[in-house]
Structure 1
Amino acid sequence: MDGYKPPCSVRTDVTARRDVALYLGLAASWGTAFVATDAALDTVPPVLLAAVRFDIAALALFAVAAAAGRSLRPRGRGDWAPILLGGVCNIGLHHALLFAGQRTVPPAVAATLLGLVPVLTPAVARVARADDRLAPRGIAGVLVGFAGVALIAHPDPSNLSASVGVALVLASAAVWTVGAVLVDEDDAELGGLALQAWTLLVGALALDAAAVVLPGQSLAAATFPLATVGWVLYLALVPGAVGFLVYFRLLDRLGPIEMGLIEYVIPPFAALFGWVLLGDVIDAATVGGFVAVLAGFCLLKGDALRRRLRGWADAVRA
């Protein structure tokens, strides 16, 4: 039996099932991140919270990369361009705006609003590539998605802070989308683990600088009781360092369409954990908006989505 290798169909089946488990685990982890952030914001200002989270997460990824013997030195524009753009947009600005918005927006609502990212991505990509236009069905998908967001947001002039919070979360979705579209790792020489460690570090340093400059965001404005320390460590290590490692591992195997769908798997977990730990209740408008955003995405990427999901189902059945 030495040297025996299981049939290809068996290996494919095991890999597909493992990917499903990792996918659901990542969605659950990132769903809990909204709840953990909401809890930590009770005693830590939003920009400072984001800075501390990614300081710790970046150090953890560097430690893992060094222990694995990976090269850690960026080697030119091919490495530095995605590191700087991804660090500033996808880590720094995105999380500063998201955490600031979460001061008045419940975790499940924030997670649902970020469901706009897969809807915005094709539209932003087509702006970046002027020769590629949206088909009528794609335009309809964008409009349906925005209608869903309007249903979730339902601006309330009598509650200005909540409306501002929704606007900040939507701005964080836009910033994430721009970074995701413009970041190009094709010419990178660093491996994915080291590249992500540097990206997190650049974002963390940008957040550190913002926490020093912006009023009310310094360490003097924060307190760190034991519960908050626990939430911050959890944010940094589980949905942060481990979450990003799993995300990029799956992204390499499954591609951007399947990984874009994770934005629609996260809100139920955020709602569940928010209900269990914080007593949050989700209203019908949020549920209806979530369905509309999902429908908009399906209009935009329906054909490609069907092909990908059919291939994944075939792999599981093989």
Structure 2
Amino acid sequence: MRPRHLALVVGLAAVWGFNFVVMEVGLRHFPPLLYAALRFALAAFPALLLVGRPGVPWRWVAGVAAAVGVGQFGFLLIGMRAGMPPGLASLVLQAQSLFTVVFAVTLLGERLTGRRITGLTVALGGLILVAVDFGMSGPFGAFALSVAAAASWSVGTILQRKAAPPDSLRFMVWVSALSTPPLFLLSFLVEGAPSLAAPLEGWISLGYVSFISTLGGFGVWGWLLRRYDASVVAPYTLLIPVFGMSTAALFVGEPITWVKAGAAVLIVCGVLYAGLRPRQATTAAAALAATGSASATRLSASSSWEAERNHAS
């Protein structure tokens, strides 16, 4: 991968990692289902007027909208509102790789190799470690909702793989459009009549997740996938929880414990080992180590700063 493209994919992981902190801010001012509905409404309009048809049968668009727009973000935002910290949520969502493999084997007939079994077992161990640790200190229901969000994301991944849209940005615009009506309906039924009275901070949060994270992020993602194999680009998504946990520590004071760090290592390494061939895994691991060192340094500095602040107080 060219250096500028490497910087682009790492920057994209940073944008998507920071997205969890931004959503945490937005949830202070909007109920979760309304926040999700507004996110996809802003992402779809007026972009819907500027793009053509999705280029795939409508059933695939509707399926991905149900799985990702309604399922993934509905569960995720409700879970975060129920107490799931943003940094930890970014890590738990990596469990989508576990579900994707299971669904790909059972629904698509893909072969489950010994390497995949080993890697996914390691990743599952990290997820169990998170569950036990968070279950002792936080609401387990919030964790379960985050896992449900990961499962929904994996269903959307399978459906999008089957659909194979020619233009990922155009596809995402239509997914956003079809996600909006059911989310507004669910919001009305569960949360009551919507209120758009929110301070500027809430609308800035919506602008970030709609335009930068959703439209901009998926546009860049599709652009990269048209130039490189998915096996080259996909491993860099494992940097998302690195940025998610570090920015959560920096901006909202979410503590980083040794248990969380150990779980992150297990999940990231397990998913990486399961998803790549040996030579690819070595190359990707080296690249992740190089590009993630700056984030690790910032994470360590943040933890030290938090410790000094707590000691001083």
Pairing partner for 2:65 from 84, 87, 91: 87
**Distance (whole Å) between structure 2 residues aligned to residue 118 and residue 156 of structure 1:** 21
The aligned residue for residue 261 of structure 1 is 235
The aligned residue for residue 132 of structure 2 is 154
The aligned residue for residue 96 of structure 1 is 74
Q: Given the superposition, is the C-alpha separation of residues 17 and 166 from structure 1 closer, same or farther in structure 2, using an over 3 Å criterion?
A: same
Alpha carbons 2:17, 2:240 under 8 Å: kept: yes
Alpha carbons 1:152, 1:285 under 8 Å: kept: yes
Shift of 1:305: 6.2
Pairing partner for 1:129 from 108, 115, 118: 108
Alpha carbons 1:118, 1:261 under 8 Å: kept: no
Letter in 2 for 1:124: F
The aligned residue for residue 207 of structure 1 is 183
**Distance (whole Å) between structure 2 residues aligned to residue 122 and residue 156 of structure 1:** 25
Alpha carbons 2:134, 2:143 under 8 Å: kept: no
Deviation per CA, 1:91-110: give whole Å up to 9, x if none: 22110111111121111100
Q: Which has the higher contact order (CA 8 A, sep 6+)?
A: 1
Alpha carbons 1:35, 1:274 under 8 Å: kept: yes
The aligned residue for residue 219 of structure 1 is 194
Which structure 1 segments of 5+ residues have no match?
1-14, 314-318
Pairing partner for 1:232 from 195, 206, 222: 206
**Distance (whole Å) between structure 2 residues aligned to residue 56 and residue 308 of structure 1:** 40
Letter in 1 for 2:213: P
**Distance (whole Å) between structure 1 residues aligned to residue 136 and residue 249 of structure 2:** 25
Q: Given the superposition, is the C-alpha separation of residues 210 and 58 from structure 1 closer, same or farther in structure 2, using an over 3 Å criterion?
A: same
Shift of 1:306: 1.2
The aligned residue for residue 255 of structure 2 is 281
Letter in 2 for 1:116: A
The aligned residue for residue 303 of structure 2 is none
The aligned residue for residue 270 of structure 1 is 244
Pairing partner for 1:248 from 212, 222, 231: 222
- 2:95 corresponds to 1:112: no
Which structure 2 segments of 5+ residues have no match?
288-313
The aligned residue for residue 31 of structure 2 is 45
- After alignment, is 45-54 or 279-288 more displaced? 279-288
The aligned residue for residue 194 of structure 1 is 170
Percent identity reads 25
Deviation per CA, 1:261-290: give whole Å up to 9, x if none: 233201121122212221111111111111
**Distance (whole Å) between structure 2 residues aligned to residue 158 and residue 297 of structure 1:** 25
TM-score (norm 2): 0.82
Deviation per CA, 1:46-65: give whole Å up to 9, x if none: 111111011101115335xx
Q: How does 1:18-37 map to 2 (within 5 A)?
A: 18-37=4-23
The aligned residue for residue 290 of structure 1 is 264
Alpha carbons 1:97, 1:168 under 8 Å: kept: yes
Letter in 2 for 1:83: V
**Considering only CA atoms, is the larger Rg found in Structure 1 or Structure 2?**
1
